[in-house]
């Protein structure tokens, strides 16, 4: 059963529909939405409770963040495995409750960290781990949105800020790269639109400090005023060099495929010779055949299926989801209190 039929919910529903390992029983959504032809024939349940009465083995939660914990816990208590889109919950306390329920019930809980299933990001992390320490990790994902896309972003900001929504992805990437413990986070944000509530910010960035001296930076903004210049930065520098994801010219921040496409990875070695020049030129790793957004969703749901069938231990996966959420929520707190937050 799929709960929530927004952009990600529909992508995951298509993944279940196309995978013979799943039998899709129907959908729950607050409003009527247009669906792809492949999904037109499935049943629609009036509520999550009505869907759970059908005893689904897996519930896919793709609603707004503030309802993730409620749906996930109800499904786990009903005996279902759960896939839940990121962020896992709206608070660390709620996230820990979801994880505790999964452990108590013995059901599988997979959080939608789609970049963990992306071969290019796996390679990016592998290359970055060769750079030594301390590290400087620089990442952003700004999205220039207008019309219907801006309306979606404004609704999303009722429960999740830009820094939290995608920040969990890139903090998760940083935590996979850096072996050191995060010790402090600083967050700053600004309200760039009169169309959002006074308490909301539609642009923000955070800095994470690690015990070994490494630093991580993440930036995110949504709206029609967001710049298309340098909206996509994925770059790590260390004593031995640097590794960067290089986008094609003309890529647009609003495109969902741009959020996951990498085009090329540039690997730079810092070593120099007697003349002071670099010993080796930069290496360019082509990622021309990488998966698009829909194929990534299909890979992610295959991981869910394999975890259930193979009884995979997801303890670290769940703990990592809570840890990355704690960091971005601490960054939000830092914005409000205008001070650094110790982790």
pLDDT for 67 beyond 90: yes
What are the residues whose beta carbons fall under 8 Å from the beta carbon of 203, sequence distance 6 or more?
142, 162, 189, 190, 192, 219, 220, 221, 222, 223, 226
pLDDT in tens, 281-315: 999 998 877 889 999 999 999 999 999 999 999 99
Q: What's the rounded Cα separation, in Å, for the pair 201 and 136?
A: 26
How much of the chain, in percent, has pLDDT values that exceed 70? 96
Confidence of residue 263 (pLDDT cuts 50, 70, 90): confident
As a whole number, mean pLDDT of residues 87-100 equals 97
Q: Determine the pLDDT at residue 159.
A: 84
Q: Which domains does the chain have, with CATH numbers?
A: 2-112 (3.40.50.720), 118-296+324-342 (3.30.360.10)
Tell me the Ramachandran region of residue 130: left when phi exceeds 0, alpha when psi lies from -120 to 50, beta otherwise.
alpha
Confidence of residue 216 (pLDDT cuts 50, 70, 90): very high
In Å, how far are 59, 71, 76, 243, 283 from 54, measured between CA atoms? 11, 15, 14, 49, 54
Both tokens of 318, joined, read 């769940």
Residue with tokens 């839940």: 84
- Produce one character per residue of 306-317: b if its CB has 16 or more CB atoms within 10 Å, e if not: ebbeeeeebeeb
pLDDT for 258 beyond 80: no
Q: What's the rounded Cα separation, in Å, for the pair 203 and 10?
A: 27
- Among residues 332, 35, 18, 1, which one has the least CA distance to residue 186? 332
pTM of the model: 0.91
pLDDT for 249 beyond 90: no
């Amino acid at each position: 059963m799929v709960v929530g039929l927004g952009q990600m919910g529909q992508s995951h529903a298509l993944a279940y529909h196309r995978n013979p390992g799943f039998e899709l029983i129907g959908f729950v959504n607050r409003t009527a939405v247009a669906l792809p032809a492949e999904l037109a024939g499935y049943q629609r349940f009036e509520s999550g409770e009505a869907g759970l009465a059908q005893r689904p083995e897996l519930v896919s939660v793709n609603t707004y963040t503030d309802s993730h914990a409620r749906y996930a816990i109800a499904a786990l208590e009903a005996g279902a495995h759960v896939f839940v889109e990121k962020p896992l919950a709206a608070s660390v306390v709620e996230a820990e409750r979801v994880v505790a329920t999964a452990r108590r019930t013995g059901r599988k809980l997979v959080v939608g960290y789609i970049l963990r299933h992306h071969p290019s990001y796996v390679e990016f992390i592998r290359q970055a781990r060769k750079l030594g320490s301390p590290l400087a990790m620089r990442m952003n994902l700004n999205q220039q949105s207008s019309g219907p896309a801006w309306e979606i972003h404004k609704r999303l900001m009722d429960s999740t800020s830009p820094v939290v929504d995608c920040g969990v992805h890139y903090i998760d990437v940083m935590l996979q790269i850096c072996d050191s413990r995060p010790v402090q986070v600083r967050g700053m944000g600004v309200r760039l639109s009169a169309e959002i509530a006074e308490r909301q910010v539609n642009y923000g960035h955070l800095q994470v400090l690690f015990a070994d001296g490494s630093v991580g930076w993440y930036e995110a903004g949504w709206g029609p005023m967001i710049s298309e210049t340098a909206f996509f930065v994925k770059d790590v520098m260390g004593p031995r060099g640097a590794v960067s994801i290089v986008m094609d010219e003309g890529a647009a921040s609003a495109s969902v495929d741009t959020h996951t496409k990498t085009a090329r990875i540039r690997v730079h070695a810092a070593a120099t010779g007697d003349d002071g020049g670099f010993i080796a030129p930069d290496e360019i790793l082509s990622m021309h055949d990488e998966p698009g957004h829909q194929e990534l969703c299909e890979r992610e749901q295959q991981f869910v299926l394999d975890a259930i069938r193979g009884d995979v231990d997801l303890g670290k996966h769940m703990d990592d989801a809570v840890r990355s959420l704690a960091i971005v929520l601490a960054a939000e707190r830092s914005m409000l209190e205008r001070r650094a937050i110790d982790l």
